[in-house]
Amino acid sequence: MKTTSESASTSEPGTPDVPDIVAYPEEAVRRYRAAGFWSDRTVAQEFRAVADKYPDHAALLTPDARLTYAELDRRTDRIAVGLRDLGLRPGDRVLLQVTNNLWTVLAWYGLLKAGLVPVATLAQHRRHEILEIARQSEPAAHLIEPGFRSHDLVALAAEVAREQPSLRRLLTIGTASPPPGAVALETLEAAGRPDDPAIARAVVEEIQKAIPADSLAVLQLSGGTTSIPKLIPRLHTEYWYNSRAYAEAIDMDSTGCFAHLLPLVHNAGIVCGLHSAHSVGGCFALASPEPDELKSIAGHITHTMMSPPLTSMVTKEPGLLESLDALRVFIWVLGPLPADIVAAFETPSRRIIQMFGMTEGMCLVTPIASPPEIRHHTVGTPIGPLDEVRVYAPGTEDPVPPGTQGELCARGPYTIRGYFRAPERNAEAFTSDGFYRSGDIVVEVPENGRSFYRFEDRIKDLINRGGEKVNAAELENLLVRHPAVERVAVVAMPDERLGERCCAFIIPKPGAQAPQLGEVQRFLDEIGVAKFKWPERIEACEELPLTNVSKIDKRALRVRITDILAAERPQ
């Protein structure tokens, strides 16, 4: 038996023999199904089953709205019918550029119920990123939020539509006056047979019956080890299982409320937030990372994910930490857990745990019952019993012993076996037996018969700016297009609030001066690069340090900028 995902045949433009998705091996599929981890239901069908079980439970909480499961189910049925009536068909892909609000959740489930495949881009992405993602994914529609303040999404959507022939529809949320030719999801919901929910429900059920559970549900984006973003194909059955396993790992149940303040349309926002809460009948609370928004929902929150920018906001805003009186599980992401965070947030009734995940699948969590040395000093253990982790000497398939640094490699029921339409990248990113090479350096820490892992470093040349990954090679390739730049090396510099920011070491062309920071940022703005990728410091230099194999010594540059920042800090 071939899984449905293996038989997908739509191919990359110009390469008709390239399959969309690398299938899970048949033997693995049998094991995952026999264990009950893979079901025969789509994400929409799984959500419907939970909504039927908990119709009156709160499903969604935002600063200005509260929806029960029954209400969320009915409203997203109507949106799905409206999308179908627009001519969008199951399997069509839809670019998303939206923010954290009620309508983003309505749109997400409406798209899935219509059989459409969300392509999880960010509102912050601009021409440079979106045109490439559109080229790879060949979307039929583009969903935007015209009120987004950082840049003009309406103008961007028009440009993408001119460049990408597959696009047929522009959709909007959050505006009563969509641009010419666009259709507001609010209008679709109002037109979607609101007086007879049974009709809309029947339409959705008919659509879902024709969708195999092991077919493509969502395309997420890779943080990337190359300058070209890769699309990550997540399948209905494994995607929901991923969320259910995560909910169990963090002790989330139908009485809980998981709050998410980081961008929702990230894998973490969907898997660890929205779907995780909804897999167990719990409430999902969504807000922007602003004190007033968090205050409005704070008293309901039992679980949340925290990063340096969020903890800084909570501790500095008077009364905000005290308002989180229902919070019992605090999940730390983005780097080592500082002792002052433990002192500020951990109490006898509130545990701090850590999680370490990747959009490609594998997720590690420190169990709540673990001793402090495990919860505070490792990033966890795999959340599923059939998850497989190996620590290899980097670039090899040679295992290293516990206590020794090596590359984290993973395989399992929710870890992909290949990127979307990317055979060359797959040959580099996966071992011969299907383990995903994460590019992260870890140390295995055995404890009471279980393996925990401590994060040490990256092989991947990425900067993690407050959760947004910046590929150094991509940024370097853009910066050398500046007329005054001869050579450049981009590295992470430490930042108390965001964890890391981008620093560019620039060698100017002969006779030229290295461009100032503002000039570099204007240059990147003009070519349509997302702002979170822009360097936030320029260091002019005459040469770049090299390793003994004549590669730029990024480690030495990271040490250099760290020392410079330390010297500048007031004593």
Asked if the model's pLDDT at residue 197 lies above 70, the reply is yes
Please give the average per-residue pLDDT across 47-67, as a whole number. Answer: 98
The tokens 């199951």 sit on which residue?
Answer: 90
Residue 533 covered by a domain: yes
Residue 393 covered by a domain: no
What is the Rg, in whole angstroms, of the alpha carbon atoms belonging to the chain? 23
Residue 155 covered by a domain: no
What is the number of alpha carbons within 13 Å of residue 120 lying toward its C-beta? Answer: 25
Name, of 5-19, 266-280, 308-322, the range with top average pLDDT: 266-280
Residue 559 covered by a domain: yes
Residue 216 covered by a domain: no
Are 61 and 260 in contact by the 8 Å Cβ rule? The answer is no
How many domains, the chain? 1
Task: For residue 435, give the amino acid letter.
Answer: F
What is d(CA 517, CA 520) in angstroms, rounded to the nearest whole number?
Answer: 5
Please give the average per-residue pLDDT across 339-356, as a whole number. Answer: 95
In this predicted model, what pLDDT tens digit does every residue of 274-300 receive, in sequence order? 999 999 999 999 999 999 999 999 999
Burial class (CB in 10 A: 0-12, 13-18, 19+), 176: exposed
Asked if the model's pLDDT at residue 10 lies above 70, the reply is no
Per the structure block, which two tokens stand in for 58? 């709160």
Range of 552's domain?
462-568
**272 band by pLDDT with thresholds 50, 70 and 90:** very high
Please give the average per-residue pLDDT across 335-356, as a whole number. Answer: 94
**pLDDT score, position 335:** 80
Q: What is the pTM of this model?
A: 0.90
First to last CA, the chain: 67
**pLDDT score, position 4:** 42
Residue 552 covered by a domain: yes
**Average pLDDT across the chain, whole number:** 93
Question: For residue 549, what is the domain's CATH number?
Answer: 3.30.300.30
What percent of the chain clears pLDDT 70, i.e. is strictly above it? 95
Per the structure block, which two tokens stand in for 98? 């939206």
What is d(CA 394, CA 555) in angstroms, rounded to the nearest whole number?
Answer: 17
Residue 238 covered by a domain: no
Please give the average per-residue pLDDT across 358-382, as a whole number. Answer: 97
Residue 504 covered by a domain: yes
Per the structure block, which two tokens stand in for 519? 């000039």
**Quick one: CA torsion of 435, 437, 438, 443, rounded to 10 degrees?**
90
